[in-house]
Structure 1
Amino acid sequence: MTAPATTGTPAAPVRRPSASLGLVRTVLRLHRPALYAGAGLFAVLTGLLLWLHGPAMDAAATAWRQYDHCQEAACAYDQDSLLVYKSFSQYATIAVTCVPFLVAAWAGASLFGRELETGTARLSWSQSVSPARWLAVKLALPAALVTAGTSVLVLLHQRTWRRSQTRIDTAKDWTDALTFHANGPTTVALALFGLAAGALTGLALRRSLAALALSVLCTAAVGLGTGLALPHLWPTVRTVTDLHHNGPTGVGITVDEGLLTSTGGHLADPHCGSDLSTPCRELYAKLRAVGFYRDSHPYSHYWPLQWVAAGIVLALAALAVLTAFRLLTRQVGAAPKEARR
């Protein structure tokens, strides 16, 4: 008689730690100084914007009310509060618009350039992490932090600017170039482009200093190009006035202006003034001008312009990321095989 056969219990599979999670911890550990510096900058700018939104603006608004109610040449008002608010609001606006360039410099020099220059990247690739996964994690994690941090700063800046429009007489108008971008998603989009540019230049140059310079230069070029193209990204509104005015009229961002002729043509504004003066009337008659025109963007076009410009910058960022992945594949070839147990 034979003993019944027994079936062995299969061993439970051993769970190996995720390579991506390990890489996330490695990225955070390697770039801890930059993380601390970024958190410190975020805290300082957040505090500054909250102060401008609250106590500083209240003090400046009170000073403006005092000044507006002055009836005498010598009048007492809190001039220091006005000057402090004006200066620090400008500093805050400049700081928010400079965030994309700081991101580009860090990404090109430290996040990618230095790791490729020192060989840290290849060490990661030898630890069961494919180059593609390495690049994806090093882009995704900073992108999430950059998007969240920059979005908060932009929202705070916009809320502060909105509150200042009815309270501070010298507050910047929405057409001011720095204010325009500091209030909207173009700054967030440009920060993400700076990150993508840093990845691409770091992979291409493999030198931290050169990658820093080139990534900042690329980000500046895209920012400048976007600013130049922005007035042409949305249809304008035309304001036509007669020649009794001193020139073209209209509000917002001016795209084009000049004289309208009787044949429907457009001429440059000679800046003569109203046709109520004899020389100007004779000049306009010679030019066959019938009125002034101005093509411009009113405030209602602010968000369409912002979103179209931000979409273009994000498309360029996606193109830079795609190019970085293709360049990495060409440089290192296939992903390394996982180490055997």
Structure 2
Amino acid sequence: MTTLTTPSPSATAHRDSGGPRLLSWLLRLHRPALWAWTALVLVLGAGLLWLWGPLTDAAAAAWRQYNACDMRPRCAYDQPAILLYKDVEHYITLAVTAVPFLVAAWAGAALFGRELESGTAQLAWAQSLSPTRWLTAKLAFPAVLVTAGTGLLVCLYHLAWSAGRGRIDTARSWYDSLVLHTNGPTTVAFALTGLAAGALAGVLCRRTFPALALALGLTAVVRAVAHLAMPHLWPSVTHTVDRSEGPVVLGLEADSGLVTSTGAHVPVPRCDAMDPGGCSAAYDRLGAVGYYTEYHPFSHYWPLQLTTTALVLVLAGLFALGAFWVLRRTTGTARAAAKAGAV
């Protein structure tokens, strides 16, 4: 015979409590992560403000001094300002690029994997929360913080980059592989993908380190796929030049190759770059008369950003739906087994 237990009044009250009680529980449980995230956003934000104002102004003035030297052998200019700007910009760009991966690692390891491994999640399900509500709360509140923090960093980065555009001779182009994403909303979408990937990895692995590794892997794959797909998500512009001029870089490249005498576009054949004669002979055999480049000018920046962001958010949504599906399947199976054992 099995004994049916009645939930205590305190447990029932806790189960029926609303959003404020749940929010308080999340804040207590993940207070160290919240402080760490706040500190990260503040430090990077301060660095971007420094880059946006004093560093850009000092480096721009130094570049004006350098360009005014006009190849004179001895000419004074503020080289340390140029080097400091370059170093700070480089490390901040890497840090903002790494934010989605930090979110993925935390979500997979601490937010989901560790709680499922230690039994904290199962205790919450038994006392106060259904698995679905637990996962919803775990995703919704961090998603707001991740969106706000990453969005602020992206806005500040865009301001800092725009301040140096046309003033800093060595400033990165808008289509640089890192700037292309840290400069726009795709980084926010990557961060949300990291959160959703962490949820899926956590409910799949139910262990801290495997979930961390899987979340990082999924986020890296999404970023790589988005970067490769971006040039093909919006119609490009085709530019052709004579063979004697050589290929040119005009923007974000979608495709390039040779133009034959018939007007056909063919790939550049493999040849030894150290042997110009060998390459020339290969081009002659193809009847090449010029080069073509399919590219995106700067005016395509926002259409590319928005279409890529939409694609990444769809993938993030699929990860989140996958996490709910896996959790429902696993908890449903466990509950069915528990009921069968009780009978």
For this structure pair, what is the TM-score category when the shorter chain's length is used for normalisation? 0.7 to 0.9
Matched, 1:225 2:225: yes
- Counterpart in 1 of 2:213? 213
- C-alpha displacement of 1:165: 0.7
Aligned equivalents of 1:282, 1:32: Cα separation in 2: 67
- Corresponding residue of 1:173: 173
Shift in Å, 1:17:
6.4
Instruction: Determine the structure 2 residue equivalent to 1:11.
Output: none
Residue 143 of structure 1: CA displacement? 0.2
Q: Paired residue for 2:4? A: none
Structure 2 unaligned regions, length at least 5 = 1-12, 336-343
User: Does 2:50 correspond to 1:21?
Assistant: no
1:1-341 to 2 correspondences below 5 Å:
18-71=17-70, 72-243=72-243, 245-249=244-248, 251-269=250-268, 286-333=285-332
Please identify, of 108-117 and 325-334, the stretch whose mean Cα deviation from structure 2 is larger: 325-334
Equivalent residue of 1:129, what SS?
Answer: coil
Relative to structure 1, is the Cα distance of residues 15 and 40 closer, same or farther in structure 2, using a 3 angstrom cutoff? closer
SS of 1:260's equivalent? strand
Q: Is the 8 A contact 2:58 2:81 kept in 1?
A: yes
In the aligned structure 2, how far is the partner of 1:70 from the partner of 1:183? 33
Contact 1:104–1:191 (CA under 8 A) maintained in structure 2: yes
Q: Given that residues 248 and 293 in structure 1 are in contact (C-alpha distance below 8 angstroms), is that contact kept between their aligned partners in structure 2?
A: yes
Specify the code of the residue in structure 1 equivalent to 2:136. A
Distance in 1 of aligned mates of 2:317 and 2:279: 54
TM-score, length basis structure 1: 0.86
Q: Which structure: larger Rg?
A: 1
1: CA distance, partners of 2:303 / 2:90: 25
Query: How many angstroms apart in 2 are the aligned matches of 1:237 and 1:74?
Result: 44
Q: Which has the higher helix share?
A: 2
User: Following the alignment from structure 1 to structure 2, what is the Cα–Cα distance between the partners of residues 15 and 126?
Assistant: 12
Task: For residues 107-130 of structure 1, give each alpha carbon's deviation from its aligned partner in whole angstroms, at most 9, with x where no partner exists.
Answer: 000011111111111121122321
Shift of 1:73: 1.0
Q: Take 2:286 and 2:319, find their aligned partners in 1: how far apart are those partners?
A: 50
Q: TM-score, normalised by structure 2?
A: 0.86
Cα separation, 1, equivalents of 2:133 and 2:315: 22
Structure 1 gaps, min length 5: 1-13, 337-341
Superposed displacement of residue 333, structure 1: 2.1
Percent identity between matched residues is 55
Structure 2 counterpart of 1:241, one-letter code = V
Distance 2:280 2:123 in 1: 78
Distance 1:309 1:15, change over 3 A: closer
Q: Deviations over 1:175-217 (max 9, x none)?
A: 1110110001111001000000100111111101111111011
Change (3 A) 1:44 1:17: same
Q: 1:241-268: CA deviations, max 9, x gaps?
A: 234x422345102222222223332233
Give me the whole-angstrom Cα distance separating, in 1, the residues matched to 2:262 and 2:136.
Answer: 59
Q: Assess if the C-alpha contact under 8 Å between 2:15 and 2:127 holds in 1.
A: no
Relative to structure 1, the CA distance from residue 62 to residue 328 in structure 2 (aligned partners, 3 Å threshold; closer, same or farther) is same
Alignment partner of 1:254: what SS? Answer: strand
Q: Which amino acid aligns with 1:165?
A: R
Q: Is the 8 A contact 2:108 2:199 kept in 1?
A: yes
Are the equivalent residues in 1 in contact too, given 2:256–2:294 (CA < 8 A)? Answer: yes
Q: CA deviation at 1:284?
A: 6.0
Structure 2 Cα separation of the partners of residues 199 and 160 of structure 1 = 33
CA spacing shift, 1:131–1:257, aligned 2, 3 Å: same
Whether the aligned pair in 1 keeps the contact of 2:238 and 2:294 (CA below 8 Å) is: yes
Distance 2:211 2:201 in 1: 5
Cα drift, residue 283 of structure 1: 7.1
- Residue type of the alignment partner of 2:94: I
Corresponding pairs, count: 318
